Every structure is written in structure tokens, then in C-alpha cells.
Structure 1
Amino acid sequence: MVKVLNQFNELVLEQMKTMDKLLYLQSEIERCQELEGELMKLHDLAKLDSIKQEINEMKKELKEIQQVFEAQTDQVIRTYQQQNRVLS
């Protein structure tokens, strides 16, 4: 039973770290999008292309992290259910 509880706690901790990555990346995307708007106003096309590429790369990374988070959520749920069966 202790092993299941430890595993559950470790999974939740990992998921929290993943959530921190998600939140950080989302804030970076927002920051870059604001910068993109400013560059559009200034008609700085060279920098605009660069920031658009950076935004696209971050969005891909965000999608990958979201998939990891979803898998972690499934694992946390399975472990929680297993924990409840052990305790019952």
C-alpha cells in the first residue's frame, strides 16, 4: 500500500513540474505575440519573421508538453484507482 501511495505522490509531483513548464511556455508565447504585434506596427519584417518562427516552435513544444501532461493525468488516475482498490 505504501508503494502505491509513493508512486501516486511521485506521479503528481511530476505532473506539477509539467504544469509549470506548460504555464511558462504559455507566458512566453504570449510575450512573443505581443512583441510580434509591436514589430508589425514598426514594419520590421526581418525580426517579424524571426519572432513568428519562434512562436511556431514554442507552440509545437507546448503541444508536446500537453500530450505528456495528458499521459501523466491518465497515469495519475490509474494509480489513484489502484490505490483505492488497495485501501478497500
Structure 2
Amino acid sequence: MNQFDYLVREQLKTMDKLLYLQSEIERCEEIKEQLNQLQDEAKAESVQFEIEQMRLQLYQIQHMFEKQTEEVIRTYQNQKVETVS
């Protein structure tokens, strides 16, 4: 497997993590809303903390995804230049 294929595969894994985390955040926000409606403030605060932690993770994964994208583009361009040469 060449470097480009490896990088793309890793980026797809990262995208899966992003999508999973986004869906978990949405799920937790729904739970928090239900707890707010039930006026269970202690549990709602706990879920809010969890949401904040997941958003931090999401930010970190997005940053990693951006770096991977840059690396994929660089590798593709290098391969393209090598193929043309």
C-alpha cells in the first residue's frame, strides 16, 4: 500500500470518529433537553459536562482531520509529480 492510500484510509477512520462523536453530542443534547423538561437539574448538568467534553474531543479530531487533509493533498501532489517525471 502506498503512502497516499494509507493516508486516505486513516482520514476515513478519522471521519468515522467525527461522525460518531457528532451523533453522540446530538443524542446527549436530546437527553439534556428531556432532563430539563423533567426539571432534573443535577443530571442535566452532568450531561452538559459530558457534552462539553465531547465537543472538546470533536474540536481535536477536526483539527487532526484538517492536518490529515493537508498531508493527503501533499502526498497526492508529490505522486502526481513523480508520475509525470
Instruction: Assess same fold via TM > 0.5.
Output: yes
- Residue correspondence of structure 1 range 74-85 to structure 2 within 5 A: 74-85=70-81
The residue that corresponds to 1:58 in the other structure is 54
Q: How many residues align?
A: 84
Structure 2, unaligned runs of 5 or more: none
Q: Deviations over 1:12-70 (max 9, x none)?
A: 00000000000000000000000011001000001001000000000000000000000
Structure 1: gaps spanning 5 or more residues: none
Q: Which consecutive aligned stretches of 4+ in structure 1 deviate over 6 angstroms post-superposition?
A: none
Q: RMSD between aligned alpha carbons?
A: 0.8
Supply the distance in 2 between the matched residues of 1:41 and 1:82 (Cα, whole angstroms): 56
Give the counterpart letter for 1:34 in structure 2: E
Please give the alpha-carbon distance, in whole angstroms, between the structure 2 residues aligned to 1:45 and 1:34: 14
What's 2:45 paired with?
A: 49
Q: What's the TM-score once normalised by structure 2's chain length?
A: 0.97
**How many percent of aligned residue pairs carry the same amino acid?**
56
